[in-house]
């Protein structure tokens, strides 16, 4: 670690760092980090991959927006407007850093907490909130955003991302797929099978695991013994661990991993070490299973604070910039609140909508019965 504005020390060519990291037999010194929790660059700015004040301000803005969406949605759930909300608080750098590394033609497969990635893919947060209000089981056009629908069955979509990537390679598209999942998900058979398929097909897919240390009440030690990122080596592809609360490092690593995949080198695994600061979902009470001290430890590593500190101390952002971003976040929250409060319920016959692409006589019959049954109440009301 060095002090800001320090002399040029060693020049970390990221791809060299990554390959050295993934082939090390012994334990690595720790996750890849470029910006410390204190807001200090680990290397000289010129030697920090992807370092650019303009881009760092964009990361900052999107992390603040993600937190604003999250805070508002959590409040709306508490007020009874949503059925459920899985908060992303604490995971902003992992999501914003990785999503910024994606190109428009890359395709992302989220689990259920990737509200920050959704934001970066241009999905209206109101559409994400719509899902958790219980209005729809989808919410957006996946192909318009190259952002698949949320998958609630843990781990399932790792295979979909792999298959999608196999298709990208077959078509010679030069794009990559990315699958987002948690530490708990790595225990599911589907995820192991995804690793296998991706490896033997050299599929251009990046497995982006947000190790937020918990799967509901189970700490990561209940899922595996030994470092998570090392699992990839057993399947025959590289895996690295990155400080998931360091948006610069996450971005640089994901960019390198995507490039690795796009250029025909097969899959890549990223373990982003982060922390779920909130409850698993609004139905959960984490005080039942984890220590407050652990929360304090991670609060000191907040992903947004360190960027703010750095931008301010390096003179890359003015107070006016921070104020503008805060205002924008508040306006976004207000828009979400207004639109959720006035969101209409779906039409009742939506139950029968789109069950089959080519129609089905039973669905038609039941829809007609349902409509007649509903109409019988309408008659009664008229009488």
Partner 1 sequence: MSTESMTLARALNQSLRKALEDDPQVLVMGEDVGRLGGVFRVTEGLQKDFSEERVMDSPLAESGIVGTAIGLALNGYRPVVEIQFDGFVFPAYDQIVTQLAKVHARSRGMLTMPVVIRIPYGGGIGAVEHHSDSPEALFAHVAGLRVVSPSNAADAYWMLQQAIRSDDPVIFFEPKRRYWDTAEVDRAVPPVDLHRADVVRRGTDVTLVAYGPMVKVCLEAAEAAAEEGRSLEVIDLRSVSPVDFDTVQASVERTRRLVVVHEAPVFFGAGAEIAARITTRCFYHLEAPVLRVGGYHAPYPPARLEEEYLPGLDRVLDAVDRSLGY
Ligand X SMILES: Cc1ncc(C[n+]2csc(CCOP(=O)(O)OP(=O)(O)O)c2C)c(N)n1
Q: What is the set of active-site residues?
A: 276, 280, 289
Nearest to 135 by CA among 305, 316, 276, 342: 342
295 binds partner 1 (CB under 8 A): no
Residue 69 binds which one of partner 1, ligand X, Mg ion, none, with CB within 5 to 8 A depending on kind?
Answer: none
Interacting partner of 338 out of Mg ion, partner 1, ligand X, none (Cβ under 5 to 8 A depending on kind): none
The DSSP call for residue 263 is I
Distance from C-alpha of 329 to C-alpha of 128, rounded to nearest angstrom: 17
Q: Which residue is nearest to Mg ion (CB)?
A: 182
CB of 360: closest distance to partner 1 in angstroms?
7
Q: Decide if 99 contacts 127 (C-beta within 8 A).
A: no
String of contacts with Mg ion for each residue 264-283, x by CB under 5 A: --------------------
Nearer to ligand X, 115 or 280 (CB): 280
- Whole-number Å distance between alpha carbons of 100 and 121: 9
| Residues in a beta bridge with 217 | none
Q: How far is the CB of 245 from ligand X (least distance, A)?
A: 15
Per rule CB under 8 A, is residue 282 in the interface with partner 1?
no
* Contact partner, 200, from Mg ion, ligand X, partner 1, none, Cβ < 5-8 Å per class: none
Q: Diameter of the chain by CA atoms?
A: 86
The region of 63-71, 148-156, 251-259, 305-313 touching partner 1 under the rule CB under 8 A is: 148-156
Strand ranges (DSSP E) for the chain?
A: 107-109, 177-182, 205-211, 214-215, 218-219, 239-243, 268-273
Distance CA 265, CA 56 (A): 29
Contact 228, 192 (CB under 8 A): no
Residues forming contacts to ligand X in the complex (CB under 6 A) are 113, 152-154, 181-185, 212, 214-216, 276, 280
What is the 8-class DSSP label of residue 147?
B
Report the interface residues with partner 1, using CB under 8 A.
83-84, 131-137, 152-155, 184-185, 187-190, 215-218, 222-224, 283-284, 288-289, 345-346, 348, 350-352, 355, 360, 362-363, 366, 370, 373, 377
């Amino acid at each position: 670690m060095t002090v800001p504005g320090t002399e040029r020390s060693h020049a970390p060519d990221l791809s060299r760092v990554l390959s050295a990291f993934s082939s090390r037999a012994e334990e690595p010194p720790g996750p890849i980090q470029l910006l410390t929790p204190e807001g200090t660059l680990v290397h000289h700015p010129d030697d920090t991959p992807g370092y650019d004040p303009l881009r760092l301000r964009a990361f900052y803005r999107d992390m603040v927006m993600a937190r604003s969406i999250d805070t508002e949605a959590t409040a709306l759930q508490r007020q009874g407007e949503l059925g459920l909300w899985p908060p992303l608080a604490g995971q902003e750098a992992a999501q914003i850093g990785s999503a910024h590394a994606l190109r428009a033609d890359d395709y992302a497969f989220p689990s259920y907490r990737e509200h920050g990635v959704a934001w970066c893919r241009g999905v209206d947060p109101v559409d994400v909130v719509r899902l958790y209000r219980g209005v729809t089981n989808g919410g957006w056009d996946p192909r318009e955003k190259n952002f698949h629908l949320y998958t609630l069955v843990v781990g399932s979509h790792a295979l979909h991302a792999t298959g999608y990537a196999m298709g990208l390679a077959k078509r010679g598209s030069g794009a990559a797929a990315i699958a987002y999942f948690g530490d708990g998900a790595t225990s599911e058979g589907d995820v192991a099978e995804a690793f296998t398929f991706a490896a033997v097909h050299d599929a251009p897919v990046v497995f982006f695991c947000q190790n937020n240390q918990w799967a509901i009440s189970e700490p990561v030690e209940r899922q595996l013994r030994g470092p998570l990122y090392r699992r990839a080596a057993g399947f025959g592809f590289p895996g690295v661990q990155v400080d998931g609360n360091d948006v610069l490092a996450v971005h640089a690593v994901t960019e390198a991993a995507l490039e690795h995949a796009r250029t025909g080198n097969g899959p890549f695994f990223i373990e982003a070490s982060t922390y779920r600061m909130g409850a698993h979902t609004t139905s959960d009470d984490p005080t039942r299973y984890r220590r407050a001290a652990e929360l304090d430890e991670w609060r000191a590593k907040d992903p947004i604070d360190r960027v703010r500190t750095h931008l301010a101390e390096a003179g890359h952002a003015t107070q006016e910039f921070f104020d503008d971003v805060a205002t924008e976040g508040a306006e976004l929250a207000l828009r979400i609140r207004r639109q959720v409060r006035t969101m209409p319920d779906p039409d009742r016959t939506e139950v029968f909508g789109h069950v089959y692409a080519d129609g089905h006589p039973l669905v038609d019959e039941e829809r007609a019965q349902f409509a007649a049954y509903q109409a019988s109440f309408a008659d009664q009301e008229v009488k």
